Amino acid sequence: MRADAPSTAAAAARRAVTNIDPELPVFAVRTMEEIAAQSRAMFFRRAVLWLLGAFALAAVVLAAVGVYGTLAYVVSQRTREIGIRVALGARRHAIVRMMLRHGMTPALAGCAVGLVGSLWLAGFLRSLLFGVEPNDIPTLACAIVFLCAVALCACLVPVLRASRVDPVITLRQE
């Protein structure tokens, strides 16, 4: 076969179609090698995006576990303080509000820093994304809401458990 056989065949096919119906358009004539090369390139891009998505999901899960673990530990370390406050007459809702404020402040600050960092680094991902902007506000909002909900649970669960403990038992532990 000659090297220009595909282009010759394409020209002959165009002439044959034009002879049958001159109004019928003929476009995007490509060889199978070109189609296969494009398919391989798309497969590579999809594989990279799937891998990037898997790492992003793993990062969100690790962030959620880290936020929960850190905040739950910090709140559980203050069980004695909570017992003393209850013994002195503090109301449960006041204790819960105080501990939520102490726990959620760093979580919200971390979300703000993460948001600024992700918007700043978004330009690096622009070449890999199709149909989605790197600074997609709904996606960023979902991530922030999710991590704040995890932080809220991480604060709320140990605080409610510690606020139900009898202050006498808490004070005797030391």
Q: What is the pLDDT of residues 47-82, one digit of tens each?
A: 888 898 899 889 888 888 887 888 778 877 887 888
Give the span between the Cα atoms of 157 and 72, in whole angstroms.
8
Residue 147: both structure tokens together: 């991590």
Inform me whether the pLDDT recorded for 46 exceeds 90.
no
pLDDT at 54: 93
Global model pTM greater than 0.75: no
Percentage of residues of the chain with pLDDT beyond 90: 5
Q: Span 32-44, mean pLDDT?
A: 79
pLDDT at 104: 87
Neighbours of 115 (CB within 10 A): 15
The end-to-end CA distance of the chain, in Å, is 91
Yes or no: say if 159 and 82 are a contact pair by the CB < 8 Å rule: yes
The set of residues, in sequence order, having a beta carbon less than 8 Å from that of 173 and lying 6+ positions away, is 80
Q: Span 81-101, mean pLDDT?
A: 85
pLDDT at 64: 81
Give the span between the Cα atoms of 151 and 157, in whole angstroms.
10
Give the span between the Cα atoms of 86 and 92, in whole angstroms.
7
The single-letter code of the amino acid at 107 is A
Give the span between the Cα atoms of 1 and 58, in whole angstroms.
52
Give the mean pLDDT of the chain. 81
